[in-house]
Structure 1
Amino acid sequence: MNKYFISLLFTFSTIGIIYSQNTATKRLQEDVINVKIDSLLSLLTLEEKVAMCHAQSKFSTKGVERLGIPEIWMSDGPHGVRAEISWDSWDYAGWTNDSITAFPALTCLAASFNPELSAQFGKSIGEEALYREKDVLLGPGVNIYRTPLNGRNFEYLGEDPYLASKLVVPYIKGVQKNNVAACVKHFALNNQEHWRSTINVEASDRALHEIYLPAFKAAVTEAGVWSIMGAYNKFRGQHTTHHELLTNKILKKDWGFDGVVISDWSSTHDTMEAALNGLDMEMGTGTDGLGTTTSNHYDYYYLASPFLKAIKQGKIDESVVDDKVKRILRLMYRTTLKPNRGFGRINNKEHHMVARKVAQEGIVLLKNENNFFPIEDKKGVTIAVIGENATRSMTAGGGSSELKPQFEISPLEGIKQRYKNAKIIHAMGYHTGASVYDNIIPSKLNQDSLRVQAIETAKKADIVLYVGGLNKSHLQDCEGDDRQTYELPYNQKEFINQLKAVNPKLGMLLVTGNAVETPWLDKVDGLIQTWYLGSMAGHAIADVISGDVNPSGKLPFSFPKQLKDNGAHFYGELSYPGDGTNQYYKEDILVGYRWHDTKNVKPQYAFGYGLSYTDFSISDIETNKKKYNTEDIITVVCNVKNIGNEDGAEVVQVYVGKKKSKVKRALKELKGFNKINVQSGTTKTVTINIPVSSLAYYNENKSGWDIEKGDYIIYVGNASNNIIKTLPINIK
C-alpha cells in the first residue's frame, strides 16, 4: 500500500470521525431541546398554548412571561428587512433607526446563476435581520414563474425548479447561520396575484411535484428551513394555508418538516381546517387589530378563541395544539432562545459590497449591436440619460417587499459618479406618479412637455441611454394584482421610436422584474436587463455599462415574443387567469423554456441566455461513460476557453432529455450548471455531476418517482436554445 493511499485513507477516516462526532453532537443538542420543550409544555395552560398560535400584533406572537417564553418577532422580506410597522395598523412606526441595506430582488439573484453568491446574500440579510432583533425573516420566495404578468415575479427565483432549488438552499443556510429563521414562501401554487385569495388551482400531480414543489422540498430537506409560509390560493378546492395534502401529508409527513407553518397575512379561513391541516401560527387575519372593532381583535382569529372553544368542547384533541406549540418552542430555541445568539450587523460595507456583487452578476446583456456597450468615458462626449426610471426609487412600492434603505444609488447618480470626463445630461420623458397597493396616485406633471423636453435633450447628445421598463406600482411589478398587458406602459414603444428618430445612437437599460414585449427591439443598438437592484443599483449599472465589470448574468426565465407564446396563456383564460373561481394549469409540466423547446415556439430571449463583452468557446465535451445504473452519477466535463479580449464568466448549462419516453416530457430539462471565471486567452475545465436519480419523473399511477430505462440525451450549452453539443447515454 503506497504512502499516498495510506494518507488518503487516514484523511477520510478523520473526516468520518469528525462527521460522526458532529452528527452525534447535533443529535444530543436536539434531544436536550426536546426535553426542554416537553418540560415547558407541561407547565403551560391550555389558554397559553392557544395564545402562542396566533398573532398579538401585525408582526409578532405572544410569549408567556411567567415561564420566560419570549415573543416571536417577524419581518418582511426576501431582499431586505422591512421598515418597522405599527402594532395594529399597516402604518409605519416612524422609527429613525430602521434603515437597512436593500439587496437586489430575487430575479436578479437567480440571474447570477451563482449559489456561492446566494449564500453571501442570505448571510448578509440574516445579519441585518438579527441586528433588527427579528426571529423570522419572511422570505425567500420560490413560487415558479408561470406567466410574465404575475405582479410578484420579481420576488421569486425564476421559471426553472432546479435553478430555484440550487439557489434557495444556500440562501436559507446563510440566513439561519445568524440564528434567524428563514420562512420560505408561498406554499404552494401561488403563481399569480390576480384573484389570489379566491382562485382555485387545478394542476396535475406531475406538475405539482416536478415543477411547483422542488424548490420548497429542497428548502426543507436540504437547507433545513425553520419556517414556511402558506399561500392565499386554493388547490383542488382547499385553501393552501391549511391543506391536507400539501401541509399534512407532503410537507410534514413525507418531507419530515419539523418547523413552523405560518399563514400568509389573512390567508386563514377556517378553524377546523387550520387546526387539523397543519397550520401552526395564524397571522394577519384581522387588519384592524385592537382598533376600531372587536370583530378583528386578535382573540377572534381562527386559531384563537374559536380554537380554544373547540378543544374544550372535545371537537379537537389537545394533542393538536401541543404539536403546534412544540414546533413554536423549537423555533424559539433555534432563534430567540439560542445561547450566544449574536447581535448582527447592518448597513456595513460588506453588505453593500454583497448587494453590489449580486447586482453586477445578475445584470444581463441582451443585445449589443456594433458593440454599443461598454460606453467609454471620453472628454467631449455627451451622454443623454433619458427616462423616469433613471431617478425613480425602486426600493419603495411593490407591496410587502418595499424597503427603507439607508441610501439608494439611482442609475443616473451611479453613471454621473463613474463618468468623470463625458458630459451627462438627463430628462424624464414621462412621470408615472405613485401607488400604494391598489391606490394609484396619478402624476400632476404635464406629460407632453416632459416628452418634448426629453426629445430635445436627446438631440443634443452623442449617445442616448434610455432607462425604461416597469416600476413597482400597482398593475406593474407589485403585490396585490397582475400586469394587465405584456407591453411596456406609458407609451414607451412610441417614445423609443421618437428617441431613435432624433438620435440613432440609442441604447436601453430595461428596469423590470418581468419579461416584457419588445416590438421596439430593432430601434435600440444595446439592451441590458437591470432588474430592481436595491441600494447599490446605480453603481452596479455603471460598473457594467462602463466595462469595469463584464456582464455575466443569464435570464432565469424566458422572454416570449408575444403573450400567447407563453404556455399558460396559449390555452386561454381558463388557464390564466381563470374564470374567477377556477384555473386550470393546462400547459401542465411545460412551463417556460420547456414549453418553447417542446412546442418549437421560438422565444425572443431564451432561459439561460446572456451575452458578454468577451467570447467563449466550449469544447471537448464528454461524459465519464455511456451507460449508467440508477444509483450512478453522470459526470459531464468540458473545456471553456475565453477567446476574447476581456476577462469574463460563462455559465455552462447541462440539460437532459429522454428519447421515446413512455410519458409526456419536455424536450429537455436543466439538470446542472456551473458558472466559471476565465481570464482572456486561458482555458478552464468544468465538471458538472448529475445524479441519475434526478432524471426521475413523478409517476401518477403509483404516487411516486420512477426512472425510465433507455436512451437519454445530454445537451450542453450556454442557453436553453444554444446547445453546443448533444451526447447520447443509456440508463440500464
Structure 2
Amino acid sequence: MQQHATIAELVGKLDLDTKAGLLAGQDIWTLPAVPEIGLRSVVMSDGPVGVRGVRWTPEDPSVVLPSPTALAATWDPELARRAGRLLAQEARRKGVHVLLAPTVNLHRTPLGGRHFECYSEDPLLTGLIGAGYVRGVQEGGVATTVKHFVANDSETERYTVDVRAEERTLRELYLRPFEIIVREARPWGVMAAYNGVNGSTMTEHARLQNEVLRAEWGFDGVIVSDWTAARDTVRAALGGMDLAMPGPHTVYGPALAQAVREGAVPEQVVDTMVARVLLLAARVGALDGVPSGFTAPEELDGNEVAREVAARSAVLVRNDNALLPLRAEDLRTVAVIGAAADEARILGGGSATVFPGEVVSPLAGLRAALPGAEVRYCVGADPRTTLPPARDGFELTLVARDGAGAELASYAVPEAGLTWIGEVPEAVDAERVRAVEFTGTFTPEVGGSHEFGFRGLGEAVLTVNGRVLFDGVSLPEGDDPFTAAMDLSERRFRTDLVAGETVRVSLLLHPLTLAEGGAGPFVFVVTALGHAAPGPGPDAQIEQAVAVARESDVAVVVVSTTEEVESEGFDRTDLALPGRQDELVRRVAAANPRTVVVVNAGSPVEMPWLEQTGAVLLSWFPGQAAGTALAEVLLGAREPGGRLPTTWPARLADAPVVRVKPEQGVLHYEEGVFIGYRAWQRAGTAPAHWFGHGLGYTEWTYESARFDPASRTLEVELRNSGPRAGREVVQVYCAPGEPDPNRPARWLVGFAQVHAEPGESVLARVTVPGDATRVWDSGVGGWRQDTGPHLLEVGRSAGDLRLSVGTVNGL
C-alpha cells in the first residue's frame, strides 16, 4: 500500500505534458526518464528465446534458447521457470528492464506462420508453461509482457483483420492462457495485439482490457501496444492502453495532452495510466525511493539451460526396431545429410530474432560425440529458395550513405546480410542515411558460372567485376509493412569468374523505407547480397547423399523449414518441406534402413516418408546448443523426453481447421471451441500424431487410478516396464459422462511428470482444478459449472488413453 501511495504522490508532481510524454515512449525501445521524481529510463527488448537488447546486431550476442514450441514440448513449467530466470539474467546483463514475451496465442490452425513463437494448441498447457516462464523472468527483477492480447493467432492481414469469435470461444480458448498467467504468475505487463476482435481493435478494446483483464482477473500491470498498433488517441486511452510504442511520435504525447485539455479524456484516466507505468518502473528497480524487492538469484549457465531444454523437448515419434538410441561403439561410419545439419535453423524469423555467440550444429555435435567414427557429410538437398549471404572468399564493408552518396559510416562485416529493425549502429546518423552499400572483394576458389543475387526493397545497383548485373527498382508485394520489409523474394544473376582472381563486388541499395526522412522514428531495413559458387546440381547432390548413406552404418538426415516458410509477417501456404527434402529422405531410407530423420522445424510439417524410416525425431528450432543436445539424445546420454504440444497432421488436407485468410477484412472463428485435438476428435479423423504423443526410450504400464474428491487429487500408479530409466508425462483429460455435441469429447485438465528406473513403480499426483468442468454460458453472460457426470481419462496422449475414473455430479 505504501508503494502505491508513494506512486500517487509522484504522479501529482508531474504536469500534463510530462505525463502524456511518458506514455508516448522516448524512442524505439525506451521510456523517457523524469529525473525530478527519480524515474530512470525503462528499457524494453524483444524475446522470447533470448534478449536481443536495443540493437539488432550480431556484435551484441545473446544466449539463444530453443523455440517456445520446444519449451512447451517439455511439458515442464518448472523448466520454463528456469529458462525465464536465465532470460532475466541476460536482460540485466544488457540493461533491459522489460522483456516483450512470452507469446501465448494458440495454434488455431497448422498454417500459422508464427506458431514457433507460441506454445501450443491447448490453453491449459499454454497457460501453465507461460506462467512458469513469467515467474522465472520476474523473479529475476525483469518484467514480462504477455502477448498478443488477444486472438492474434495468424499473420495474414494482422494489422487490420477483425477476428469474429463468440464469447464462449474467447473465454474457453483464446483468453484462457492469459487468465491462467494473470491469476497464477501476476505478470507486470501485457501487450495489446494489432488485430481487432468483434469490431474493435485490441489497443482500444475497453471491454476486454478494462473489464475482463483488469476488473475481472485483477491485472494491475501495464498494457503496451504492439509496435505501431495504436491508432486513435481517445479510444486507446479510454480503452485501457497505457503505452503507445515506439516513441516519441505516437497517438499519445502532445495528442493525448490536447485530448485532456479538450475534455475528450479525463486527466484522472491519464494519471491512472502514469501510475501503472511508475509501478512498472518500481518493480524493475528504475524508480528511486520505491524499492523493487528484487534479490538477485543464483547465476545460471546459459549454454547448459539451452542444452537441457533442447534435449528435454526432443519428441521421438518413430523408433522402428528400437533403432535409437544408437550405440557409439557399434558405429564406424556415419552419414550426416542435409543443409540444416551443417547450418542448423536454431530460431524462427521476425522480431524474435536474437544473435548467438556460438552455435553447435548437428554435424559438429555428432563429430564431437563420435571421435572413433568416420562422420561423412553431404548436403543432399538444400531447402533454401534464396542464396546464402556472401561470406566465404569475400572481404566486405558495409557503408551507410546520405542522399548525395557521401559516406556517413562504414565497418567491416563477416557476411553480406543486413537487418536494421528498431535501431541503426551507433556510428550511423539515422536522420541522414538514405542508402546502404555492401562493397569489397571476392576471390573465388572455383572458376565458372557464379550466381549472385540480392534481396531488398528500393532502388538497387548490383555490380560484379565491373559488370552491372542489375540497375533498377525492387518493389514490395501486399500492404503489410512488416511483411514487405521482410520480403525474401530475390533477384538472381550469373557471371563467369576465374578461380583465384580477385574481383570487386558492390550492392548499393536506396531502401524504400529510407526514401524520405532517413531512418525516422522506426528503422526497418532488410537486405542481403547472396552468392553461390559452381557446384553439383540438385540431382547430383541427392545421388551423392544416397551413395554415402548406402556405405554407412547409420544415416542421420536433418530436414528443415526455412525463413521463407516459418516467420513473423506471413502465414504458411502448405505443410510440405521446402525443396527436394522429401525425395532426399525417401532415397536415403531406401538405401539404408537404419535412417534417422531429424525434423528441424518450429511447427508441424508433412512427413510422407514416415513409415519408410528407421526413426524420426522432432527437434523444433533447438537453439544454440542444437548439436550437443541432439548427439546426447541420439546416443542415449539423454532420453528424448518431449511430448507434442500440438497435434501433428499427416496431411494438411486432413486438418479440420485451416483458414487464416480473412474475407473482406474479417476472419470468422466459425469452428468455435473445436481447434487442435478437440477438432480432430470431433471430425473422427486420426492425425499422424496426437497432441501429447512422444515415445521416449522405455515403456510404461499404467496400472491404476483413483480420484479423491475432497482434495481433488487424482493418483495414478504406473510402472516403468521397459529396459531403461525414463521420464513419463502423465496426462489427465476430462470428458462428459454423456456425449455432448456442443462440447469437446475431452480436454486437458492436468499433467505430471514422473521418473523411474526399469521395473520401478511410481505414483503420479495431479490436482484437478475446480474449474475443470465449467462452461461459458452466453445466455447468462458468465461461467456455469456443469454438475453432470464426467470421466477423468489418463494416458500418454489425447489419442492414447490407458485408464479412466468416473465421477458423479461434476468434479
TM interval, shorter chain, is 0.7 to 0.9
Distance change >3 Å, CA 345–CA 81, structure 1 → 2: farther
Q: What amino acid does structure 1 have at the position aligned with 2:175?
A: L
Does residue 40 (structure 1) correspond to residue 40 (structure 2)? The answer is no
Does residue 464 (structure 1) correspond to residue 555 (structure 2)? The answer is yes
Give runs of aligned pairs for residues 303-702 of structure 1, distance below 5 A: 303-335=252-284, 336-337=286-287, 339=291, 350-378=301-329, 381-395=332-346, 398-431=349-382, 432=384, 433=387, 437-441=486-490, 444=532, 447-448=537-538, 449-471=540-562, 473-474=563-564, 476-569=565-658, 575-624=659-708, 633-660=711-738, 664-702=742-780
> How big is each residue's C-alpha offset from its partner over 1:201-251, in whole Å with a ceiling of 9 and x where there is no partner?
111111101111111012212101000111111111211122122112111
Distance change >3 Å, CA 533–CA 58, structure 1 → 2: same
SS of equivalent residue, structure 1 residue 691:
coil
Distance change >3 Å, CA 54–CA 393, structure 1 → 2: farther
Give runs of aligned pairs for residues 22-33 of structure 1, distance below 5 A: 31-33=1-3
SS of equivalent residue, structure 1 residue 208:
helix
Aligned to 1:7: none
> How big is each residue's C-alpha offset from its partner over 1:246-304, in whole Å with a ceiling of 9 and x where there is no partner?
112111221121110011111112112111101100113xxxxxxxxxxxxx4541112
Aligned to 1:10: none
8 Å Cα contact 2:790-2:808 kept in structure 1 = yes
Distance change >3 Å, CA 345–CA 173, structure 1 → 2: closer
Distance 1:380 1:99 in 2: 36
SS of equivalent residue, structure 1 residue 672:
strand
Distance 1:365 1:637 in 2: 27
Shift of residue 349, structure 1, vs aligned partner: 6.0
With the length of structure 1 as denominator, give the TM-score of the two structures: 0.88
Q: What amino acid does structure 2 have at the position aligned with 1:67?
A: I
Distance change >3 Å, CA 315–CA 131, structure 1 → 2: same
Give runs of aligned pairs for residues 149-188 of structure 1, distance below 5 A: 149-188=111-150
Aligned to 1:122: 84
SS of equivalent residue, structure 2 residue 629:
helix
Distance change >3 Å, CA 206–CA 723, structure 1 → 2: same
8 Å Cα contact 1:192-1:482 kept in structure 2 = yes
Distance 2:194 2:777 in 1: 28
Distance change >3 Å, CA 250–CA 226, structure 1 → 2: same
SS of equivalent residue, structure 2 residue 328:
coil
Distance change >3 Å, CA 687–CA 340, structure 1 → 2: closer
8 Å Cα contact 1:131-1:345 kept in structure 2 = no
Superposed CA RMSD in Å reads: 2.1
Task: Give the percent of matched residue pairs that are identical in Structure 1 and Structure 2.
Answer: 31
Distance 2:737 2:724 in 1: 39
Distance 1:126 1:427 in 2: 39
Q: What amino acid does structure 2 have at the position aligned with 1:709?
A: T
Greater mean deviation of Cα atoms: 325-334 or 722-731:
722-731
Distance change >3 Å, CA 300–CA 191, structure 1 → 2: same
Shift of residue 312, structure 1, vs aligned partner: 1.5
Distance change >3 Å, CA 389–CA 83, structure 1 → 2: farther
Q: What amino acid does structure 1 have at the position aligned with 2:665?
A: T
Q: What amino acid does structure 1 have at the position aligned with 2:21?
A: A
Q: What amino acid does structure 2 have at the position aligned with 1:508?
A: V
SS of equivalent residue, structure 1 residue 710:
coil
Unaligned runs of 5+ in 2: 389-454, 456-484, 491-529
8 Å Cα contact 1:300-1:306 kept in structure 2 = no
> How big is each residue's C-alpha offset from its partner over 1:286-327, in whole Å with a ceiling of 9 and x where there is no partner?
xxxxxxxxxxxx454111222221112222111121111000
Unaligned runs of 5+ in 1: 1-30, 86-91, 285-297, 570-574
8 Å Cα contact 2:647-2:689 kept in structure 1 = yes
Distance change >3 Å, CA 537–CA 394, structure 1 → 2: same
Distance 1:153 1:177 in 2: 27
Q: What amino acid does structure 2 have at the position aligned with 1:303?
A: Y
Distance change >3 Å, CA 527–CA 223, structure 1 → 2: same
Distance change >3 Å, CA 392–CA 440, structure 1 → 2: farther
Does residue 57 (structure 1) correspond to residue 23 (structure 2)? The answer is no
Distance 2:35 2:348 in 1: 37
8 Å Cα contact 1:597-1:667 kept in structure 2 = yes
8 Å Cα contact 2:736-2:791 kept in structure 1 = yes
Does residue 720 (structure 1) correspond to residue 798 (structure 2)? The answer is yes
SS of equivalent residue, structure 2 residue 801:
strand
Does residue 69 (structure 1) correspond to residue 15 (structure 2)? The answer is no
SS of equivalent residue, structure 1 residue 665:
coil
SS of equivalent residue, structure 2 residue 89:
helix
SS of equivalent residue, structure 2 residue 808:
strand
Name which structure has the greater RCO, CA cutoff 8 Å, separation 6+: 2
With the length of structure 2 as denominator, give the TM-score of the two structures: 0.79
> How big is each residue's C-alpha offset from its partner over 1:128-149, in whole Å with a ceiling of 9 and x where there is no partner?
1112111100111110111111
8 Å Cα contact 2:140-2:297 kept in structure 1 = no
Distance 2:127 2:121 in 1: 11
SS of equivalent residue, structure 2 residue 12:
helix
Which of the residues 80, 83, 88 maps onto 2:50?
Answer: 80
> How big is each residue's C-alpha offset from its partner over 1:133-192, in whole Å with a ceiling of 9 and x where there is no partner?
111001111101111111111111101111111111121111101111011111000001
SS of equivalent residue, structure 2 residue 137:
helix
SS of equivalent residue, structure 1 residue 731:
coil
8 Å Cα contact 2:345-2:560 kept in structure 1 = no
Distance 1:54 1:455 in 2: 59
Greater mean deviation of Cα atoms: 373-382 or 643-652:
373-382
8 Å Cα contact 1:387-1:466 kept in structure 2 = yes
> How big is each residue's C-alpha offset from its partner over 1:430-484, in whole Å with a ceiling of 9 and x where there is no partner?
332358822345763555243343334323322111000213x13x221111111
Q: What amino acid does structure 2 have at the position aligned with 1:601?
A: T
8 Å Cα contact 1:383-1:464 kept in structure 2 = yes
Distance 2:297 2:627 in 1: 23
Higher helix share: 1
SS of equivalent residue, structure 1 residue 534:
coil
Shift of residue 397, structure 1, vs aligned partner: 5.5
8 Å Cα contact 1:130-1:343 kept in structure 2 = no
Distance change >3 Å, CA 301–CA 692, structure 1 → 2: closer
Matched residues, number: 667
Does residue 260 (structure 1) correspond to residue 222 (structure 2)? The answer is yes
Distance 1:266 1:467 in 2: 38
Shift of residue 356, structure 1, vs aligned partner: 1.4
Shift of residue 688, structure 1, vs aligned partner: 1.3
> How big is each residue's C-alpha offset from its partner over 1:630-660, in whole Å with a ceiling of 9 and x where there is no partner?
xx54322121211111100011111001133
8 Å Cα contact 1:595-1:601 kept in structure 2 = no
Distance 1:552 1:396 in 2: 20
Distance 1:664 1:731 in 2: 19
Distance 1:384 1:662 in 2: 52
8 Å Cα contact 1:63-1:69 kept in structure 2 = yes
SS of equivalent residue, structure 1 residue 248:
helix
Distance change >3 Å, CA 164–CA 722, structure 1 → 2: same
